[in-house]
Chains A and B, each alone.
Chain A
Amino acid sequence: MEDKELTEIESFQLIQDMINKSRSSVMDKGTWPIYWGCTIAFCSFFLYFQLLFKWKMPFNIFYLTYIALAIMIFVIIKNSKHKNVSSHSQRPIAYTWIAYVIAINIMGFDPQTNYSGISFMVLYGIPTFITGGIMNYKPLILGGISCWILAIIGFFCNGLTQIMLEGFAAIAAWVIPGLMIRRRYLQVKKGVHV
């Protein structure tokens, strides 16, 4: 690119192209919502069938989430070394999810309470809803609300069914919005105005 004067039409075209480029650089690619949605959905459905068919397991299947978390932290640290652009929303979103991870782990290790799928679904909804608000992205907002609706449905179900509902909550809150974010990201990257 040279330092030449532009016609008015060229100026508009250039602004549009550059805004599309910067948007696609900082846009969420949908990777982590899909990754976590699949992980939680898998763990929930596995636990449901494990309890239903009384399979013997040497460990709680949800411990897989710690491996998933370790992989995510490793990848984020690795990618941050090559990061050369940042958006305004990254920091508040990161803090929201850090708070969620801490809260859910404190709840998960509480020896005084029995496992409650309802509490977890309520918790899944909070960061999802807030992230949707920060990103101004309706599928995530609706995903958060879906978690709370499923938690209310859980009032009328037994503990085993609540575990299955958790799997559906993960799909509604993260897998579906994640796939939609991915699709939007690919469209912006191609230069399609969305």
Chain B
Amino acid sequence: MFKDLDPILHSQLRLAVVSLLISVKEADFSYLKEQTGATAGNLSVQVQKLKDAGYIEIEKTFQNNYPKTNCRITKNGVDAFEKYVNALRTYLPK
């Protein structure tokens, strides 16, 4: 039986961001931009959607007088990612 896929994660850029954050403690916005190849504007919108869903936390700081945005995955985010991967498995041919 097919399980429903979380619509928040079932989008290319949001899934990429969560997959990047799942195995690190935290990553800044420029790292996510570099690794996903997304534009700053699009990434910013998708990161905000993940934050609104409670899947990631965002911390804004300053480093060498430059603003720095750190993102880290939350417990909810980890649980949602695990559920998403388990649901995906039901769609794959056995």
Interfacial residues, chain A to chain B (CB-CB below 8 A)? 1-6, 8-12, 14-15, 17-19, 21-23, 25-26, 81, 84-88, 90
Contacts and interface: CB of A to CB of B under 8 A. Distances in A.
A61 to B, nearest CB: 39
Interface in B79-94: 85, 88, 91-92
Nearest to A9: B92
Contacts of B5: 8
A25 to B, nearest CB: 7
B15 A6 contact: yes
Interface string B27-38: 110110001111
A86 B19 contact: no
A90 B35 CA distance: 21
> Which of A84, A87, A90 has most B Cβ within 10 Å?
A84
B91 A15 contact: no
Contacts, number: 93
Q: Is the interface of B mostly helix, strand, loop or mixed?
A: helix
B64 A81 contact: yes
Contact of B24 (A4, A5, A9, A25): A25
B20 interface: yes
Contacts of A6: 10-12, 15
B74 interface: no
A14 B15 CA distance: 8
11 contacts: A3-B46, A10-B12, A11-B10, A12-B88, A18-B16, A18-B19, A18-B36, A21-B35, A84-B30, A85-B31, A86-B26
Given A1-B36, A8-B91, A84-B31, A22 B24 contact: yes
Contact of B20 (A3, A4, A10, A21): A21
A25 B11 contact: no
B73 to A, nearest CB: 11
Given A12-B88, A85-B26, 20 more contacts: A2-B12, A2-B42, A3-B11, A3-B13, A4-B11, A4-B12, A5-B12, A6-B11, A8-B91, A17-B19, A18-B19, A19-B19, A19-B20, A19-B22, A22-B19, A22-B35, A25-B24, A81-B63, A87-B25, A90-B25
Interface in B1-56: 5, 10-16, 19-28, 30-31, 35-38, 42, 45-46
B12 A84 contact: no
A44 to B, nearest CB: 36
